[in-house]
Structure 1
């Protein structure tokens, strides 16, 4: 079956898959109705994009526009809602976020999206080239504008390191784990000196981080064939995660679970692998009481690109011109710098990456870590990973459950790998 045929088949199946979901599990900036003569635009996104103050700024300079932000906490909850909205052709925001792991899936049905070019012009020279290209459809139409990329670091509790009698300054911490093997040694030392506490939250964050460091083929090749069983990137990341689990330095907590959220406040673990967009989530989960206790160090094994998103405008929007202009505003250089300062998403806009305020920015919550310099230094050399149409499903429904099963002592490493590969073929089919 050709790639084109498979894409068409997948689009039909995906858009019919979700038929009865509840309302948007979200919080909004505001949900008042627009006044007569005003245009109301809804922005749908997941997690933290740093847009709350930006939309207020936009409203102040566009008096005829009212903007509502609908936030869904997790991508896993957000995606099926968007599938439903597109399938029924009603309910979607005027501007919707598409994470890198799901955008290829939604590109399979170009009819759902307006071409942004007639409204905002050609923006190719404004962004990292490979990032911009992901948002372009096969026919050349601009489906989505880039927001952020997932530059990688390690968020760690400097106070817990200090209490354990270990080096806690970010330069010394970065120097202590140049490689994943070094990271394991630090984890074992921390476990001994802290009375048995875990260094890392879970092996799945390490798996995602290690996957992002290599680039190239991952679960899919460039023709969107599932090649997880043949991918050196996947196998290397898997072996790294297994080594961490075998070393006993993880808290064995499922990411995004209530236990994981509570663990940030309670010191259940002292570190998590931290793409730039995770800064806002760490701060939100940890709370004001832990300000100044977190810091940011280098990631073992070198930088990587984990995640990042785009903004698109569904054809069902009643205000495509105004929605496209809002998307362009939220992704321009100044807005990307402001969003980074607010919640941490690393700019993909080239002018933003060169912005002096961005480069000099220090995050007060994370002990005044120079996050602009930490995340920005390698942003222009990030290696993109091939992201097939069901990348997210393969990661979260095939590999992560098996890694968690091994981490919890339920299966052997060999059995976990065998089942992950088998499940990848099922989850990745389209």
Structure 2
């Protein structure tokens, strides 16, 4: 998931120290944490955003007799430093740790900090989207992450606000409004003219959606050299977002800010670009009073992968075998379907993607939208992305701030682009 991240000197130093001390806490066993039968009395799971695990964990506890503490962090910018600190100090890491795609490669550079899951779980290599499974492996071949979700795209929109602006509200008619990004901008202009408000939350949200539709290299090339100035995907995303800013179709609500969160209830904007995992966040921010006012339509320009994660087991876990089994449980086909139904994370397990409970699922909060069908049909069209080791830092500390400075009228377009390129080199250094 994409959030604003601030890299501190401590975090940089901590990452440098991870290899040296990351496994210290794995020495020795905490017998007090085990029951007489030898199994742990409790396992800890760290996630960010919303993974939809609450009910699944209750069932796991019934099945195994092992309690699970689910530690949720709202935003990735708060979550990543916690993981860095735990690995660097050798203490405090959860038994199961979620790693988002934007930070995965950063942590894969020190594979010794993670348990090799291959000998701890059954062979599931043929059960997931092939590219998703492979990304869970470190360079030395060890399996450090089991696949959770993938971030297929849609557009979440408020039917009542569309109606007030004289726009169609039925999802098929809405989809017909924007076969491409130029048409989307024209729709935004009509909404602005009718309401004097922005159609979308922010230009940076739109840029994220456009960027991931392109596939291939983004901020890095295959050798992990920063190529921000040469990436066609990045330039296309920038130019499209600038065009949206010029057309004044944005509410200028910075994603993840308090104003952005409140904007869902207040009707500050009428649409946002929704990876599947965003559905739960939209619903939580909008509240029960707005149930049935939201709907979901396909995104302009085709499929794209924005987000998605893996579950890993830190080497410092005192119960690596049991933790790996818990990660296996949380990522199996049944659990992925249940998580999707509860909060929206799109399955990557091939059996789950064919499950009628998934393909036929309709989301009541989003006006009964066939979210299983809408998101599921786009999975096979997703083009794998190459995200370098500091992808998230470049995106959130260089690309998005520069784009916001233009959107807010603080910098001319050329100066904003130059600032992005300068900051990308700094943020991308490893």
Shift of 1:14: 4.9
- 1:17-43 CA deviation, whole Å, 9 max, x = no partner? 89xxxxxxxxxxxxxx97854521000
Q: Equivalences for 1:243-392 in 2 at 5 Å?
A: 243-392=243-392
Aligned match of 1:24: none
Shift of 1:368: 0.5
Matched, 1:74 2:68: no
- 1:301-359 CA deviation, whole Å, 9 max, x = no partner? 11110010000000111111110000001001110000000100001111111111100
Matched, 1:170 2:191: no
Paired residue secondary structure (1:222): coil
Aligned match of 1:40: 42
Matched, 1:106 2:107: yes
Name stretches of at least 5 consecutive residues in structure 2 with no aligned partner. Answer: 1-10, 19-31
Q: Equivalences for 1:406-417 in 2 at 5 Å?
A: 406-417=406-417
Whole-angstrom distance in 2 between the partners of 1:138 and 1:400: 29
Paired residue secondary structure (1:255): coil
RMSD: 1.5
Deviating runs (4+, > 6 A) in structure 1?
none
- 1:51-94 CA deviation, whole Å, 9 max, x = no partner? 0000000011112x110100000000000000000000100100
Shift of 1:166: 1.2
Aligned match of 1:8: none
Shift of 1:260: 0.3
Paired residue secondary structure (2:154): strand
Whole-angstrom distance in 2 between the partners of 1:248 and 1:333: 43
Paired residue secondary structure (2:306): coil
Contact 1:34 1:66 in 2 (8 A): no
Choose the corresponding residue for 2:59, options 41, 57, 60: 57
Aligned match of 1:399: 399
Aligned match of 2:130: 129
Shift of 1:122: 2.1
Contact 1:190 1:198 in 2 (8 A): yes
Contact 1:95 1:313 in 2 (8 A): yes
Shift of 1:140: 1.7
Whole-angstrom distance in 2 between the partners of 1:411 and 1:15: 33
Name stretches of at least 5 consecutive residues in structure 1 with no aligned partner. Answer: 1-10, 19-32
For this pair of structures, how many residues does the alignment match?
404
Contact 1:161 1:168 in 2 (8 A): yes
- 1:274-297 CA deviation, whole Å, 9 max, x = no partner? 000000000011000100000000
TM-score when normalising by structure 1: 0.92
Contact 1:208 1:237 in 2 (8 A): yes
Aligned match of 1:86: 87
Whole-angstrom distance in 1 between the partners of 2:78 and 2:374: 31
Aligned match of 1:425: 425
